[in-house]
Amino acid sequence: MHADPIRRMIVLGPRAHELRAYDGSTAWAVLEEMMQRSTGDGDHLVAQVSIRSLASSLGLAKDTVARAVRRLRDLGVIEAEQRRSDSGVFQTGSYRLDVPTACLTVDISTTTNHRRPHPTTHRRTTNTTNTTDTANTTDTGQLSLTFNS
pTM (global) more than 0.85: no
Is a pLDDT exceeding 70 seen at residue 129? no
Residues 37 and 34: their CA atoms lie apart, in Å, by 5
Is a pLDDT exceeding 60 seen at residue 28? yes
**Beta carbons of 135 and 128 less than 8 angstroms apart:** no
Over residues 91-107, the pLDDT tens digits come to 677 899 999 989 988 88
Is a pLDDT exceeding 80 seen at residue 89? no
